[in-house]
Structure 1
Amino acid sequence: MKQIILLFAAMLLFSCKSPAQDSKKEEFAVVKTEAEWKEQLTPEQFYILREAGTERPFSSPLLNIKKEGTYVCAACSTPLFKSEHKFDSGTGWPSFDREIEGNVAFSTDYNIGIARTEEHCATCGGHLGHVFNDGPQETTGKRHCINGDALKFVAENEE
């Protein structure tokens, strides 16, 4: 009986799938080597976009932009968020209640020990931030909490 229990426990242990096994290598339209990304991006942008880093809160110059326009990926210029959907979340990161549909990809991130929904540029795979369900209830209820270094702002009259 003891052997059966041990055998069952071993089968259970080795048959479990970890989150790391789930991560499929997605294919993106824009693919570059690490050296190419490092040449193109600032060190801060590389840390955020390619290494899934997080910038210090309240450090982004994009936080206080009030003009109309579009926030695009700092790596590939894909339009990601519109200024009309930006709001002050008080968190210290640019926040939006919705993305430009189809231009943002989502995955599950366990980096801090709990599941969070991570956001990536759907064109180049660059890490943008995370989306939470504590946004404005009068709109979508979502808070896309985005690293400013992952974005560039294009004013409406410059598009």
Structure 2
Amino acid sequence: EDIAVLTVHARTRKEMSKIEANWDYVKTVVNMRNDWADKNPGKIIPLIFGNGDVVSVEDGFDKCEKYNADGAMIGRAMFGNPWFFKDIEEKFIPTREDRINTLIRQVEVFDRELGDVKSFAVMKKFFKTYMNGFEDAKDIREAIMNMEKAEEVVNFLKEKADTR
């Protein structure tokens, strides 16, 4: 069966994220695909997506243009930034309320779906990524880091969301 999309990770498994992604690998695969397509007229030409160190929507577009990729995959840049793709439509900067309400929603979903099988402590890694970039973020983050139950965090965050 024909390949529709091939994603090229711009570093090796051994390199992991220890070094900067080398998008020249992506360009090499794009060139190989183009050479193959020239020799195989009528065949479905797969799209080539690059992956590695894409830090924003704009950066993804820039890398695609520079290395002739058809698209870009997003990895770590998404962590703590569920608004990442809003940048495609407009430059989006989440407000204090956006950050608090999104964390409330994530904690509620975690509690409903995984609360019986996973320790709530695993949620704490998200607290810093959401609770930053606004005036009282540090105070809120420090308070919720000491809480042990989802309900406690949700109630506290709802109170904070309503106090401004």
After TM superposition, the score normalised by the length of structure 2 is: 0.21
Structure number with the bigger relative contact order (C-alpha 8 A, sep ≥ 6) is: 1
**Greater strand content:** 1
**Greater helix content:** 2
Larger Rg: 2
